[in-house]
Amino acid sequence: MATAGKVIKCKAAIAWGPNKLSVEEIEVAPPKAHEVRVKILATGICRSDDHVLSGVISNFQFPAILGHEAAGVIESVGEGVTKLKPGDKVIPLFVPQCGKCVCCKNPDSNLCLKNDIGRYAGLMADGTSRFTCKGQKVYNFIHTSTFTEYTVLDEIAVAKIDDDAPLDKISPIGCGFSTGYGSAVNVAKVKPGSTCVVFGLGGVGLSAAIGCKVAGASRIIGVDINKDKFQKAKDIGVTECISPKDCDKPIQEVLTEMTGGGVDYSFECIGNVDIMVAALQCTHPGFGTCVIVGLAPSTHKFSFDPMLLLTGRTLKGALFGGWKSKDCVPKIVSDYMAKKFDLSELVTHTLPLDKINEGFELLKDGKSIRTVLKF
């Protein structure tokens, strides 16, 4: 392409610090060795972007380009990149897959040790940045940075997907959908006929419910304090919805009674440590499994009676639904194209990049599931 090897000037949303987000012109340097430059076509706003922007996640470097749930096309590739080429359709991977580390080599783990989650160094693998704005270095976000027309990605953080994939529709596969869905089918391994409860009916929780349904759960209970979320949840297969605000006793007790002793699987898709404990408590003794999916503020901790585990419950957690990202994302895209599940219910709003702040407001006000920014 005509732009290969050159600096590209384009628009991006820069997070200058907590709650300071503005759209600016930036410069995106060409990809170095084992990197690719990608034109982003669609990117969703996830609660995790909001956690960082609102400052509840500590040790984060600013200024930065947030965004991690996206789909795009490769514009150019750096030296040594052999399996990707300009024109390839791709999904950026916020949990990379280097294929070489001890976790990548372990068939039961997807936590590539090259991930930047929690550490937030915000730089490419070689320790430098490809973004500048007004002469200032701009950090990246968990190997992705997608609130920009162009981004540069390490080769280990890119999945090449089907040439026919509809890029405007599949951005939720980059985070929310795959995270929730995988939490049910991979992490919990929901069995047919089981009873599940999903706490939090946002993009991640609804996707967990889709996973429970695809796995054959017979009862899927949705819990949310925002009752506006209930209709959509029912549309995608949640069988009953409850708001803790309508209950005169703790939600874990209500759920235990409703299910005759506890659920088979529970999913915490909020990021609230008190709900995490409730999610463990409402699982059935002897065999119940609780999966932590939500990202809690950095300073929050939880504690619980260890007897809950001694009595045969399992507590688990995973990033990105436990999927080995580079291997599995192309398969999830193929499953979408084969109509194994629908993503349209997850995308409630579409906005141009210039209106990104409006997109964050919709999420904070509980009015959107996913707002997708289209370029």
Footprint of ligand PAD (CB under 6 A): 46-48, 51, 175-176, 179, 199-205, 223-226, 229, 244, 269-272, 275, 293-295, 319-320, 366
Q: Is 178 a catalytic residue?
A: no
C-alpha to C-alpha distance for 9 and 26, rounded to whole angstroms: 6
- The dihedral through the CA atoms of 264, 269, 273, 274 has a sign that is negative
User: Shortest approach of Zn ion to residue 109 CB, angstroms?
Assistant: 9
Reduced to 3 states, what is the DSSP secondary structure of residue 210? helix
Which option in ligand PAD, Zn ion, none does residue 101 bind, with CB closer than 5 to 8 A by kind? Zn ion
DSSP string, 43-55: EEPPHHHHHHHTT
> For residues 200 and 330, which CB has a smaller minimum distance to ligand PAD in the complex?
200
Question: What torsion do the CA atoms of 41, 45, 46, 48 make, to the nearest 10 degrees?
Answer: 110
Q: What is the number of the residue whose Cβ is closest to ligand PAD?
A: 202
Dihedral (CA of 174, 178, 180, 183) sign: negative
Binding partner of 112, given ligand PAD, Zn ion, none, CB within 5-8 angstroms per partner class: Zn ion
Q: Which single residue is written with the structure tokens 């090449």?
A: 160
362 binds, among ligand PAD, Zn ion, none (CB under 5 to 8 A by kind): none
301, 232 Cβ separation under 8 angstroms? no
Closer by beta carbon to ligand PAD, 131 or else 177: 177
Tokens linked to 151:
């981004």
**What whole-number distance in Å separates Cα of residue 6 and Cα of residue 366?**
41
**Residue numbers of the site for Zn ion (CB under 5 A)?**
46, 48, 98, 101, 104, 112, 175
Q: Name the token pair of 125.
A: 């693998």
Alpha-carbon separation of residue 28 from 132, 143, 227, 265 (angstroms)? 7, 15, 43, 45
The minimum distance between CB 112 and Zn ion, in angstroms, equals: 3
* 24 vs 50, beta carbon nearer ligand PAD: 50
Q: Which of 98, 103, 175, 269 is catalytic?
A: 175
User: In what helix (H) or strand (E) does residue 372 lie, and over which residues does it extend?
Assistant: strand 370-374
| Shortest distance, position 162 Cβ to ligand PAD, whole Å | 23
**Is 68 one of the annotated active-site residues of the chain?**
yes
Nearer to ligand PAD, 74 or 242 (CB): 242
Query: Could you tell me the two tokens for 205?
Result: 């929780």
**Distance in Å, CB of 174 to Zn ion, minimum:** 8
Helix (H) or strand (E) holding 362: helix 356-364
Catalytic residue check, 175: yes
Q: Out of 51, 143, 284, 349, pick the active-site residue.
A: 51
Nearer to ligand PAD by C-beta: 98 or 318?
A: 318
Binding partner of 293, given Zn ion, ligand PAD, none, CB within 5-8 angstroms per partner class: ligand PAD
What distance lies between CA 355 and its chain's CA centroid? 21
Q: Tell me which of Zn ion, ligand PAD, none is bound by residue 131, counting a contact when its beta carbon lies within the kind-specific cut-off of 5 to 8 angstroms.
A: none
Q: Which does 270 bind (CB under 5 to 8 A by kind): Zn ion, ligand PAD, none?
A: ligand PAD
The active-site residue out of 46, 98, 241, 269 is 46
Q: In what order do the strands lie in the sheet with 136-138?
A: 8-17, 20-28, 131-133, 136-138
Nearer to Zn ion (CB atom), residue 70 or residue 167 = 70
Q: Which residues are catalytic?
A: 46, 48, 51, 68, 175
